A and B are shown apart, each in its own frame.
Chain A
Amino acid sequence: MVNPIYILTLSLAAGFLLTLIDKSGRKLSLTVFYGILSLNVFIIGEWFYRLTFLNTPTVIINTAGFSAPLSINLQLGMQEAFVLLFANLTALLSAVYLFKKFKETHISGLILYLIMIVGVNGLVMTRDLFNMFVFSEILSISTYALITLTETKKSLSAGFKYMIAGGIASTFFLLGVTFIYYFTGNLNLDFIHLGNFSNLGFISIFLLAIAVFIELKPFPANGWALDVYEAVDSGIVSVIAVVNSAAIFFVFYKIMPILPQNFLNVFGIAGVITFFFSNLMGLKQKNAKRLLGYSSIGQIGLLVASLIFTMHLPRSLMYLIVGGFFFNHLIAKAGLFWITGIVKKENLKDWNVLKNNKPLLVLFGILLFALAGFPPFAGFWAKWEFVKMLVHGKMFFVVGTILLGSLFEVIFLFRWFTLSIKGDEKTEHKNISLELSKMFPTTIFAGITILISVLIMKFFYDFNWLHALPVLAVLIINVIDFLPSKIKGILSLAAVLTYGYLIYPLESNIQLFFGIIFIIGSAINIIGTLNRKGKSEGFYGLLLMMIFSFGNLLVAITYLEFFLSWEFMTISSFLLILRGKKAQKASMLYLIFSTAGAYLMMVGFSLAPDLVSNSVLILSISNVSLPIAATILLSIGFMIKSGSLGVHIWLPEAHAEAESDVSPFISAILLKAGVFGLLMVGISYIKHTPSFDIFYWIGWIGVLTAIVGAFLASFQEDAKRLLAYSSMSQVGYIVASIAILSHLGWLSAMYLSFNHMMFKSALFIAIAGVYYRTHTRTMYEMGGLIKKMPLSFISVLIMIIAVSGVPPLSGFGAKWLIYSSFIEKGWYLQAGVLFFASGVSFLYLYRIIHTIFLGQLKYEHQNVKEAPIWFIIPQYIFIIGIMAISMFPNLIIQPLNSIAMRYFNSSIIIDGYTISSSLGYWNGNLVMYVTMGVFVVPLIFLMLFNGRMQKVKQFNIVYAAERPESPQTTHVAHNMYAHYRKALGGWGKPRIWDFWHEVSEWSHSLADSIRQLYTGNGQTYILHIIMYVIVIYFISGV
Chain B
Amino acid sequence: MNIWIKILYAVISVLVVTIYGLTLGGIVRKIYARVHGRYGPSVWQPFLDIIKTHGKRVSISHGYMFYLGPIFRLAGGLGTYLFIPVIFGSVVFSNFSIAGDLLLVMYFIFFGQLGMALGAGEGGHPYSPLGIARGLSQMTAFEVPFSLAVIAIAIQYNTFNLTTIVAAQQGSILNWTLFTNPLAVVAAMISLLGMNMHPPFSIVLAPQEIPIGPPIEMNSSFLATLQTNRGLFTAAKLILFMNLFFGGATNLPIMIIKTFLIYMFSVFVGASFPRFRPEQSMRFFLKWPTLIGVASIIFIAYF
Interfacial residues, chain A to chain B (CB-CB below 8 A): 784, 786-787, 790, 793, 797, 801, 804-807, 812, 815-816, 819-820, 823, 826, 828-829, 831-832, 835-836, 839-840, 842-843, 845-846, 849-850, 854-856, 914, 918-923, 926-927, 930-931, 933-935, 937-939, 942, 945-946, 948-952, 954-960, 970-973, 976-977, 979-980, 982-983
Contact A923 B75 (CB under 8 A): no
Q: A850-B129, A957-B217, A979-B282 are in contact. Are A922 and B104 (CB under 8 A)?
A: yes
Contact B140 A976 (CB under 8 A): no
Contact B132 A846 (CB under 8 A): yes
Contact B59 A921 (CB under 8 A): no
Contact A935 B104 (CB under 8 A): no
Q: In the complex, what residues of B have CB within 8 A of residue A918's CB? A: 158
Closest Cβ neighbor of A949 among chain B residues: B59
Contact B118 A797 (CB under 8 A): yes
Alpha-carbon gap, A625 to B161, bound state (A): 40
Contact A977 B133 (CB under 8 A): yes
Contact B221 A919 (CB under 8 A): no
Is B137 on the interface with A (CB-CB < 8 A)? Answer: yes
Q: A801-B114, A959-B125 are in contact. Are A835 and B107 (CB under 8 A)?
A: no
Is B242 on the interface with A (CB-CB < 8 A)? Answer: no
Alpha-carbon gap, A819 to B151, bound state (A): 9
Is B91 on the interface with A (CB-CB < 8 A)? Answer: no
Contact B61 A951 (CB under 8 A): yes
Contact B99 A926 (CB under 8 A): yes
Of the A-B pairs whose beta carbons lie under 8 Å apart in the complex, a sample of 12, sorted by A's number, is A784-B124, A807-B108, A849-B121, A855-B124, A927-B99, A930-B82, A934-B78, A935-B71, A959-B125, A960-B211, A979-B137, A983-B282
Q: In the complex, what residues of A have CB within 8 A of residue B154's CB? A: 823, 919
Query: Restricting to B237-284, which residues have a CB under 8 Å from any CB of A?
Result: 277-280, 282-283
Closest Cβ neighbor of A710 among chain B residues: B140
The interface bits of chain B over 178-211 (1 if a CB of A lies within 8 angstroms of the residue's CB, else 0) are 0000000000000000000000000000000001
Q: In the complex, what residues of A have CB within 8 A of residue B141's CB? A: 983
Contact B139 A839 (CB under 8 A): yes
Closest Cβ neighbor of A711 among chain B residues: B140
Q: In the complex, what residues of A have CB within 8 A of residue B58's CB? A: 948, 950
Closest Cβ neighbor of A982 among chain B residues: B279
The interface bits of chain B over 116-149 (1 if a CB of A lies within 8 angstroms of the residue's CB, else 0) are 0110011111101110111011011101100110
Closest Cβ neighbor of A805 among chain B residues: B107
Report the minimal beta-carbon distance from A963 to chain B, rounded to whole angstroms. 13
Closest Cβ neighbor of A819 among chain B residues: B103
Which of these, A829, A846, A946, A983, contacts B117 with CB under 8 Å?
A846
Is the contact region of chain A dominated by helix, strand, or loop, or is it mixed?
Answer: helix
Q: A957-B217, A979-B278 are in contact. Are A930 and B96 (CB under 8 A)?
A: yes
Alpha-carbon gap, A931 to B67, bound state (A): 18
Alpha-carbon gap, A815 to B221, bound state (A): 34
Q: In the complex, what residues of B have CB within 8 A of residue A846's CB? A: 114, 117-118, 121, 132-133, 136
Contact A840 B140 (CB under 8 A): yes
Which of these, A839, A843, A922, A935, contacts B101 with CB under 8 Å?
A922
Q: In the complex, what residues of B have CB within 8 A of residue A784's CB? A: 124
Closest 4 CB pairs of A and B: A920-B160, A920-B101, A854-B121, A835-B147
Alpha-carbon gap, A918 to B152, bound state (A): 16
Q: In the complex, what residues of B have CB within 8 A of residue A836's CB? A: 140, 143-144, 147
Is B155 on the interface with A (CB-CB < 8 A)? Answer: yes
Contact A942 B279 (CB under 8 A): no
Report the minimal beta-carbon distance from B288 to chain A, rounded to whole angstroms. 15
Contact A980 B282 (CB under 8 A): yes
Is B70 on the interface with A (CB-CB < 8 A)? Answer: yes
Is B79 on the interface with A (CB-CB < 8 A)? Answer: yes
Closest Cβ neighbor of A845 among chain B residues: B114
Q: In the complex, what residues of B have CB within 8 A of residue A793's CB? A: 65
Closest Cβ neighbor of A823 among chain B residues: B154
Contact A983 B279 (CB under 8 A): yes
Contact B129 A855 (CB under 8 A): yes
Which of these, A843, A952, A955, contacts B61 with CB under 8 Å?
A952
Closest Cβ neighbor of B302 among chain A residues: A828
Interfacial residues, chain B to chain A (CB-CB below 8 A): 7, 54, 57-65, 67-68, 70-72, 74-75, 78-79, 82-83, 96, 98-104, 107-108, 110-111, 114, 117-118, 121-126, 128-130, 132-134, 136-137, 139-141, 143-144, 147-148, 150-152, 154-155, 158-161, 211, 216-217, 220-222, 225, 277-280, 282-283, 286, 293-294, 297, 301
Contact B147 A979 (CB under 8 A): no
Q: In the complex, what residues of A have CB within 8 A of residue B136's CB? A: 842-843, 846
Contact A979 B279 (CB under 8 A): yes
Alpha-carbon gap, A982 to B139, bound state (A): 16
Closest Cβ neighbor of B7 among chain A residues: A933
Q: A923-B98, A930-B82, A979-B134 are in contact. Are A806 and B70 (CB under 8 A)?
A: no
If A784-B124, A842-B140, A983-B286 are given as contacts, then 20 extra A-B residue pairs at C-beta distance below 8 Å, sorted by A number, are A786-B122, A790-B64, A805-B110, A806-B110, A807-B108, A812-B104, A828-B155, A843-B140, A846-B117, A846-B118, A849-B118, A854-B65, A854-B124, A919-B101, A919-B160, A930-B82, A946-B221, A951-B63, A977-B133, A979-B279
Q: A836-B144, A934-B79, A977-B133 are in contact. Are A949 and B61 (CB under 8 A)?
A: yes
Alpha-carbon gap, A956 to B63, bound state (A): 12
Report the minimal beta-carbon distance from B253 to chain A, rounded to whole angstroms. 27
Q: In the complex, what residues of A have CB within 8 A of residue B107's CB? A: 805-807, 812, 815
Alpha-carbon gap, A820 to B216, bound state (A): 39
Closest Cβ neighbor of B121 among chain A residues: A854
Q: In the complex, what residues of A have CB within 8 A of residue B158's CB? A: 918-919
Alpha-carbon gap, A784 to B124, bound state (A): 8
Alpha-carbon gap, A971 to B99, bound state (A): 40
Contact A957 B123 (CB under 8 A): yes
Contact A828 B225 (CB under 8 A): no
Contact B71 A939 (CB under 8 A): yes
Q: In the complex, what residues of A have CB within 8 A of residue B111's CB? A: 806-807, 931
Q: In the complex, what residues of B have CB within 8 A of residue A829's CB? A: 294, 297
Q: In the complex, what residues of B have CB within 8 A of residue A942's CB? A: 67, 70-71, 221-222, 225
Contact B108 A828 (CB under 8 A): no
Closest Cβ neighbor of A985 among chain B residues: B283
Alpha-carbon gap, A657 to B74, bound state (A): 41
Report the minimal beta-carbon distance from A911 to chain B, rounded to whole angstroms. 11
Alpha-carbon gap, A958 to B58, bound state (A): 14
Alpha-carbon gap, A971 to B125, bound state (A): 8
Which of these, B71, B72, B151, B216, contacts A823 with CB under 8 Å?
B151
Q: In the complex, what residues of A have CB within 8 A of residue B143's CB? A: 835-836, 839
Closest Cβ neighbor of A800 among chain B residues: B114
Alpha-carbon gap, A959 to B128, bound state (A): 12
Closest Cβ neighbor of A827 among chain B residues: B151
Alpha-carbon gap, A34 to B72, bound state (A): 84
Q: Which of A816, A935, A954, A982 has the most CB of B within 10 A?
A: A935
Contact B217 A958 (CB under 8 A): yes
Contact A972 B129 (CB under 8 A): yes
Alpha-carbon gap, A797 to B122, bound state (A): 13
Q: In the complex, what residues of B have CB within 8 A of residue A951's CB? A: 60-63
Closest Cβ neighbor of A787 among chain B residues: B63
Report the minimal beta-carbon distance from B196 to chain A, rounded to whole angstroms. 17
Report the minimal beta-carbon distance from A838 to chain B, rounded to whole angstroms. 8
Report the minimal beta-carbon distance from A815 to chain B, rounded to whole angstroms. 6
Closest Cβ neighbor of A960 among chain B residues: B211
Contact B279 A832 (CB under 8 A): no
Contact A843 B137 (CB under 8 A): yes
Alpha-carbon gap, A797 to B114, bound state (A): 10
Alpha-carbon gap, A849 to B122, bound state (A): 10
Contact B61 A855 (CB under 8 A): no
Q: In the complex, what residues of A have CB within 8 A of residue B139's CB? A: 839, 842
Which of these, A801, A815, A832, A955, contacts B103 with CB under 8 Å?
A815
Contact A807 B100 (CB under 8 A): yes
Q: Which of A820, A934, A939, A970 has the most CB of B within 10 A?
A: A934
Report the minimal beta-carbon distance from B54 to chain A, rounded to whole angstroms. 7
Alpha-carbon gap, A926 to B278, bound state (A): 38
Q: Which of A797, A801, A832, A923 has the most CB of B within 10 A?
A: A832
Report the minimal beta-carbon distance from B131 to chain A, rounded to whole angstroms. 10
